[in-house]
Amino acid sequence: MTKVSGRDGDLLYSVYFSASREEFQFKASEIWRQMKWAKGECINVEDDDQGQEIHTERGSRWIYSESTQELLLQRRADCKDSWPGQWDISSAGHISAGDSSLVSARRELHEELGINLPKDAFELIFIFLQECVINDGKYINNEFNDVYLVTTLAPIPFEAFTLQETEVSSVKYVNWADYRSLLASGNQEYVPYDVCGQYGKLFNIIEQRYKENMESRSLALQKQLGRYVPVNLDTELTALSKADREALSFIIKASAVVDDIFFDQVWYSNLMLRDWLKKHSDASSLDRLKWMYYAINKSPWSCLDEEKAFLTTADSAVRLLAESTRRVPGWKGIEYRAAFPMVKPPGANFYPPDMDKTEFELWKGSLGDNEKEAATGFFNVIKRHGEVELDSVLSPLESGTSSQARQDQHANSDDLFVVPFSQEYGDRLLKAAEFLREASQLTDSPSLKKLLKTKADAFLSNNYYDSDVAWMELDSKLDVTIGPYETYEDGLFGYKATFEAFVGIRDDTATSQVKLFGDHLEDLEQNLPLDNVYKSKDVVAAPIRVIQLIYNAGDVKGPQTVAFNLPNDELIVNERGTSMVMLKNISEAKFKHILQPIADVCINMEQKEYIDFESFYTHTVCHECCHGIGPHSIILPSGQKSTVRLELQEVHSALEEAKADIVGLWALRFLINQGLLPKYLLKPMYVSFLAGCFRSVRFGLEEAHGKGQALQFNWLYDKGAFILHSDETFSVDFTKVDGATESLSREILTIQAKGDKSAAKSLLQEYAKMSQPLCTALEKLERFQVPVDITPIFTGKLSLV
């Protein structure tokens, strides 16, 4: 019997079959092709007849003590086939077929050393390919090695370990620098690792992490914070009735709960890190800066720096586990740092941290239609049976899934399963629902009363249809948006929605002024630069509400939105269209503090006169309207019904933002040509858009708006619509910009209509990049220290409600 295994990303496949060595290559290549393994990846062969092994997947777990700067080593048992009796990493083992990397890491640490740790103790620091041949060619190492780091505050007492005799004979702590020297010298007592090669990353990470220069770190954080301008939002509440002011206090309490849920959605230890940093923010000036910048980003990854980590696990929260090992008199237990990856997890906390796209797609393909819809739905998370089972065995209090969710898990062989938001965040959603029900009883607005009640019901039922309809029909001075909506955090597929809240006071005058756009949505749809076969015949006008923002929470990290167009659920979009909310005081603050300074630096002197708030704001309105037109539900070439979101997956958000922007420009020109908008807006809208490109690209190309904006700028620049002058300023060629705008609109709309993911990826790869003209503009803005965005500060008036 021969076992063949292969790896695609973090996913290990295994198949058993009978084969001679002569048959092996043919069989392996056939399985490889069937399982779509990447060519050149390692395969794993375990052949009982030949006594030869070629391993492909291995996990390495290192335990590092901060206070002593030591790594824990284990001495391999004398009976081991490889490197018997030599000192090796803290814990290691090959990952079993069907098991996951992280689950194996936790299980192996428990089996070999008797240590039970939850998943937040393990930091995957890198993966490398290890190749060697020992035992006279009978043991061939050709494997991917997943290297995890567990950081404890102090050494674990030796008495606390329970050693697995068949694997480990003893343990010891060694200074990390001394251990590196021992490996570099080739000391025969230690299992060899190439510290000058890929494995040297372990020591480089530890050295860099604990070689902290407080002054340089403080300066770096001050520079990052300086990119945001604090803006006081001091909106008057006098326009609200007494009943609505009383309701507002409970709505804000519900929003605070939503904020907690969002922190949890970003990363599974994010809430703990938030509370830790806030609690220790007064310890030093550096700790204060850490907390301030973290509070803006709502995670340890910087929104304006391609999601690069500005903290490390050495800055993270400390947890105490009293029952994680054998009890030792006088020792309180393991204190460890809640680890977080240096690279932001693309699946956020919606999927198992060691799940990749291939594993999900294979699992999804095995599901029925209803199960498949749940797996790709907005309001569910994906869990791993192996992880939940391990939680219940090793640390029953650590599981993020409720006991009810475990009881409801369907019994099958799949490792992945679906948990609805109503269960995953059950206790918090129950609390938020109670606050909303209190508010619904207090308000004197019938439509707001209905919204709050249906939203409270949705939190508990996981069915958001009625509450989204109630939100679209809201006609209240107190304007409330609360619930799971945007999917930007789901970098794997763009399926899962994050919770957010926006609370404001409706600006009746401004709302009446923008009614024009909603009234002509059908005309815009039918005249889109898109083949008629793809145009919708049932576009519903999008109601537009303009508000003065008084509070926000949840998914409002980093750069602030100036408007949003909801819901995103294609079912409601097809039946009722969308509704738009404009945050006018945020738009005004961004124009004053961001766009105008950008124009002063980057726009050619001859065209600076065209920069004005009206054109900036009008395009923002049109951008949001254009989310509601164009393809949403589509029919694939095969005849199958689908949606743009499901087909484009992780590239959908960036392309959709680019569509709304560029089609928004096209739509403004169309309305001007129809005599519905004044002609004087034409040139200002193009020049203001040009300045706005530099504003949005500074959000980073990992962010959907920034990536979409880079695509548009580079396309228009390539077509000659944007011009770079010798003084490093830019201008619009008004003779070319109309055609360039229409051609890009057609390109994006057609890709969406066809659900053509490969074309979408090609378009983004070619144009959504930091081109030289963009670099020129961004470097100039950096030299002039022009802020990137605003940070709203909600003032004391809210304390009066």
Q: What are 206-235's pLDDT values in tens digits?
A: 999 998 788 999 999 999 999 999 999 988
Final residue of a domain: which of 293, 326, 343?
A: 343
Closest CA to 336 of 589, 62, 560, 541: 62
For every residue of 682-730, which 3-state class applies, written as one string?
HHHHHHHHHHHHHHHHCCCCCCHHHHHHHHHHHHHHHCCCEEECCCCCE
pLDDT at residue 128 in the model: 76
Q: Whole-angstrom Cα distance, residue 352 to residue 519? A: 45
Q: Whole-angstrom Cα distance, residue 279 to residue 256? A: 18
Strand 228-233 and strand 789-794: the pairing is parallel
**252 Cβ neighbours under 8 A, 6+ residues apart:** 503, 551, 798, 801
Q: Whole-angstrom Cα distance, residue 548 to residue 566? A: 18
pLDDT: is 233 or 31 the higher one? 233
What distances in angstroms separate CA 350 from CA 262, 493, 500, 572, one per listed residue? 11, 10, 16, 23
Same domain, residue pair 87 and 187:
yes
Task: Quickly state the pLDDT bin for 27 (edges 50, 70, 90).
Answer: very low
Q: Evaluate whether residue 93 is within a structural domain.
A: yes
Residue 12 above 50 pLDDT? no
pLDDT: is 306 or 690 the higher one? 690
pLDDT at residue 395 in the model: 52
**What secondary structure letter does DSSP report for 595?**
I
Count of other CB atoms within 10 angstroms of residue 612 = 19
Same domain, residue pair 35 and 140:
no
**What secondary structure letter does DSSP report for 229?**
E
- For 747, phi then psi, to 5°, come to -60, -50
pLDDT at residue 700 in the model: 87
Q: Evaluate whether residue 179 is within a structural domain.
A: yes
CA-CA-CA-CA dihedral for 723, 727, 728, 729, to nearest 10: -60
**What secondary structure letter does DSSP report for 629?**
S
Same domain, residue pair 13 and 153:
no
Same domain, residue pair 37 and 71:
no
Q: Whole-angstrom Cα distance, residue 294 to residue 272? A: 13
Q: Evaluate whether residue 83 is within a structural domain.
A: yes
Closest CA to 593 of 626, 616, 563: 616
Domain count, the chain: 2
- Strand locations in 485-608 (E): 499-506, 544-554, 563-566, 579-583
**778 Cβ neighbours under 8 A, 6+ residues apart:** 694, 697, 698, 770
pLDDT in tens, 340-360: 888 899 999 999 988 989 889
| One-character DSSP codes across 380-406 | EEEEEHHHHHHHHHH-TTS-SS-HHHH
pLDDT in tens, 59-114: 788 999 999 999 999 999 999 878 899 999 998 776 665 567 888 889 899 999 99
pLDDT at residue 216 in the model: 92
Mean pLDDT, residues 180-193: 95
Q: Evaluate whether residue 67 is within a structural domain.
A: yes
- Percent of the chain whose pLDDT exceeds 70: 86
Closest CA to 559 of 699, 769, 658, 407: 699
Q: Are 663 and 630 in contact (CB under 8 A)?
A: yes
Q: Evaluate whether residue 220 is within a structural domain.
A: no
Same domain, residue pair 141 and 9:
no
Same domain, residue pair 32 and 147:
no
pLDDT at residue 446 in the model: 98
pLDDT: is 593 or 637 the higher one? 593
Q: Whole-angstrom Cα distance, residue 35 to residue 28? A: 10
pLDDT at residue 135 in the model: 60
CATH code where residue 91 lies: 3.90.79.10
Same domain, residue pair 114 and 1:
no
Category of 755 on φ-ψ map: left (φ > 0), alpha (ψ -120 to 50) or beta: left
- Percent of the chain whose pLDDT exceeds 90: 71
State the average pLDDT for the chain: 87
pLDDT at residue 628 in the model: 86
Q: Whole-angstrom Cα distance, residue 519 to residue 523? A: 9
pLDDT in tens, 537-589: 877 767 889 999 999 999 999 999 999 989 988 788 878 878 889 999 999 99
Same domain, residue pair 22 and 70:
no
What distances in angstroms separate CA 495 from CA 129, 139, 478, 487, one per listed residue? 32, 44, 30, 6
Same domain, residue pair 34 and 119:
no
Closest CA to 193 of 259, 270, 132: 132
Least confident of 29-43, 144-158, 217-231, 670-684: 29-43
Least confident of 26-30, 298-302, 447-451: 26-30
Same domain, residue pair 81 and 146:
yes
Q: Evaluate whether residue 399 is within a structural domain.
A: no
Residue 26 above 60 pLDDT? no
Same domain, residue pair 88 and 119:
yes
Q: Whole-angstrom Cα distance, residue 571 to residue 559? A: 29
Final residue of a domain: which of 298, 318, 343?
A: 343
Q: State whether residue 21 is helix, strand or coil.
A: helix
- Long-range Cβ contact pairs of 493-496 (< 8 A, separation 24 or more): 493/357, 493/360, 493/376, 493/649, 493/650, 494/645, 494/648, 494/649, 494/650, 494/651, 494/652, 494/653, 495/350, 495/376, 495/377, 495/378, 495/645, 495/649, 496/265, 496/348, 496/350, 496/378, 496/380, 496/381
Let me know the angle formed at the C-alpha of 353 by 98 and 111, rounded to the nearest 5 degrees: 55
Closest CA to 297 of 685, 588, 700, 5: 700
Q: Whole-angstrom Cα distance, residue 490 to residue 498? A: 9
- Strand locations in 286-366 (E): 301-302, 308-309, 318-321, 334-337
What distances in angstroms separate CA 459 from CA 421, 427, 529, 573, one per listed residue? 8, 10, 40, 21
Q: Whole-angstrom Cα distance, residue 91 to residue 296? A: 38
Same domain, residue pair 188 and 63:
yes
319 pairs with which residues across the strands? 336
Each residue of 28-59: b (16+ CB within 10 Å) or e? beebbeebebeeeebbbbbbeeeeebbbbbbb
Q: State whether residue 35 is helix, strand or coil.
A: helix
Q: Evaluate whether residue 243 is within a structural domain.
A: no
pLDDT in tens, 433-446: 999 999 999 999 99
**84 Cβ neighbours under 8 A, 6+ residues apart:** 76, 77, 78
Q: Are 391 and 402 in contact (CB under 8 A)?
A: no
pLDDT at residue 46 in the model: 43
**What secondary structure letter does DSSP report for 556?**
-
Unique residue bearing structure tokens 């939940």:
388
Residue 411 above 70 pLDDT? no
Closest CA to 687 of 778, 599, 777: 599
Q: Is the pTM of this model over 0.85?
A: no
Sheet strands side by side (includes 579-583): 478-484, 499-506, 544-554, 579-583, 563-566
Residue 407 CA to its chain's centroid (Å): 29
Mean pLDDT, residues 242-271: 96
Task: Quickly state the pLDDT bin for 49 (edges 50, 70, 90).
Answer: very low
- Strand locations in 11-98 (E): 11-17, 43-47, 52-65, 70-76, 87-88, 91-94
Domain of 317, in residue numbers: 54-211+308-343
Q: Evaluate whether residue 391 is within a structural domain.
A: no
pLDDT at residue 142 in the model: 59
Final residue of a domain: which of 321, 343, 365?
A: 343
